[in-house]
Structure 1
């Protein structure tokens, strides 16, 4: 499953002011409250079942259209998540990382360049995305293993030994999975993490601008929507996300909304972005 794109719904070039973190969701304007309150019509069960059946095909078509050009390389991950640098128990320890939903490698290749003492398992729902990763000039089997995997049903242990991963990342990934199957995905990651291992999470938060842009007829369920290309997106509250991870056995370390505004002075646009940025840990004595 691809990291489903922090800029999918924005077609203009953004400028990012400093962000803030809060524990309460963003307050809605009266107009926004009315819009969400009036959006009650759900996509039919038949179409929802077809979207689930075609989920992999839709992401493969996404990468066929966009190849490696849609998402920017994520050089911000080590800045936002200091665990990627500081979780080693000794200076010479090789860090073992799992990126669940690697897309075309926008996160893993900057990490491989910055940290020479790291090994990365990289999996994605889309076979086409995995092929793009393997064709990258920086891909080296001594430092990275990329493989196709549906976290909702495939067994991560077919490629990763139980209890060997230090850090797993879920960056704009869980939101693309049907809510009924999110729990299974987290349980899979729990098994391959070592006791004390960390999950670093960033994804769409409740009342993000992308959520408010969906027109009537695109709603699949509470906080769950479908885009025109058939890919789906869920918008998380802190409480909902914490419950998912806790039910999968994790401890919550950090779980905060990240608020920022995307500004385009030329177009006179300023829209609120809301993400959830969180850290969860497999208990040390588990």
Structure 2
């Protein structure tokens, strides 16, 4: 069954994952000694029970009229969410720097010289305002091509490519927010800034500029009015990830990192591929797309009741917001179809514990890193 791997087997294939922690449950009797356990193995019985539960809660689908409402008024439901919770719902994500060291570019300066010397003459020209061109700083650099990783990059049609280049030149002709920066990060689906503010507070590199956007105007307003918001280092804006007609306020090939933290799962599955394609075009050659999102059979999926399922593995919550639960293969297809190379695609299986209520909760998250090839697919 896709997505289920005993922790020992997975570690043997992918190498030991120190990032996710080192607290392993070897004695079931000690389960309530800590709040969480890492890389928890799923028995065949548990996996089968999870599959049965999902089949059960998927038998009754939300009527088409309501499905249309949830799609058309998606921004309303998210605005209502942030009006109610403001900045008190999510905690700041300081774990990001352990899982995604790419978010601290000052630590990666030594990789740049090696990267440029290895790939001299093979880089795609990009619009940079800096002379040193330090936009190719990447953690975990790999010299292998997408072919050696078993993925085929798919260049956009010629007409689309020409259009994108023209748009790129238009934006380059004018100043854009962060145009003087040499390391640019974009977070899509920023919420109230639980990722953005830890980045700004942790990384004081003057060459860094952070962009952040959200579907919810209420969320963006909360970011902009936060005391930690600094317009000289950050630009927050309202943007619909699925809007094909609205462009991002940066040129193509200009971003070093794009972050997607529990955001892709919030949009309708049919629109995911085009959204990732558009984001991919914003990355510099060598730039990274980082994702962390819900995995198939996560506790949240198993808790849905009948009548909340929109389509296969896609649900609506009681507040009208929606969520999809991924497999590794689905995410791999989305990113590689957009022309990106796999660097990391892991399942993070954790057992969270409520010691007061003596409850155990099995969480399944997927973490991915995909990179834009250094060599142009047309070169």
**TM-score for both structures, normalised by structure 2:** 0.67
Which of the pair is proportionally richer in helix?
2
Are residues 1:98 and 2:116 paired? no
Instruction: Please point out which of 3, 13, 17 is paired with 2:36.
Output: 17
Root-mean-square deviation over aligned CA pairs: 2.2
Match of 2:363 in 1: 273
Q: Determine helix, strand or coil for the equivalent of 1:20.
A: coil
Bigger-Rg structure (1/2): 2
Question: What are the residue-to-residue correspondences of 1:171-250 with 2, within 5 Å?
Answer: 171-250=261-340
Q: For the structure 1 residues 257 and 126, does the alpha-carbon distance in structure 2 shift closer, same or farther, using more than 3 Å as the test?
A: same
The question of 1:34 aligning with 2:124 is answered no
Q: Per-residue deviation at 1:233?
A: 0.4
Per the alignment, residue 77 of structure 1 pairs with 96
CA distance in 2, matches of 1:129, 1:251: 32
Q: Cα 1:175–1:154, aligned 2, differ >3 Å: closer, same or farther?
A: same
2:82 to 45, 58, 63: 63
Of 185-194 and 208-217, more deviation after overlay is shown by 185-194
**CA displacement 1:14-65 (0-9 Å, x = unmatched):** x64342299x999735543332233312111111111101101000000000
From 48, 68, 90, give the equivalent of 2:67: 48
Q: TM-score, normalised by structure 1?
A: 0.89
- The gaps in structure 2 that reach 5 residues or longer are 1-33, 114-131, 135-181
Alpha-carbon separation, structure 1, partners of 2:288 and 2:324: 23
Change (3 A) 1:27 1:191: farther
More divergent stretch after superposition (49-58 vs 88-97)? 88-97
Change (3 A) 1:21 1:134: farther
Contact 2:224 2:236 in 1 (8 A): yes
- C-alpha distance 164-27 of structure 1, shift in aligned 2 (>3 A): farther
Q: Distance in 1 between matches of 2:44 and 2:313?
A: 14
Between stretches 173-182 and 81-90, larger displacement belongs to 81-90
Corresponding residue for 1:141? 231
Contact 2:212 2:235 in 1 (8 A): yes
Conserved in 2, the CA contact under 8 Å of 1:205 and 1:236?
yes
Q: Is the alpha carbon distance of 1:242 and 1:27 closer, same or farther for their aligned partners in structure 2, counting shifts above 3 Å?
A: farther
Match of 1:6 in 2: none
Q: Which has the higher strand share?
A: 1
- Once residues 280 and 208 of structure 1 are traced to their aligned partners in structure 2, the CA distance between those partners, rounded to angstroms, is 23
Give structure 1 stretches of 5+ with no counterpart: 1-14
Q: Is the 8 A contact 1:263 1:271 kept in 2?
A: yes
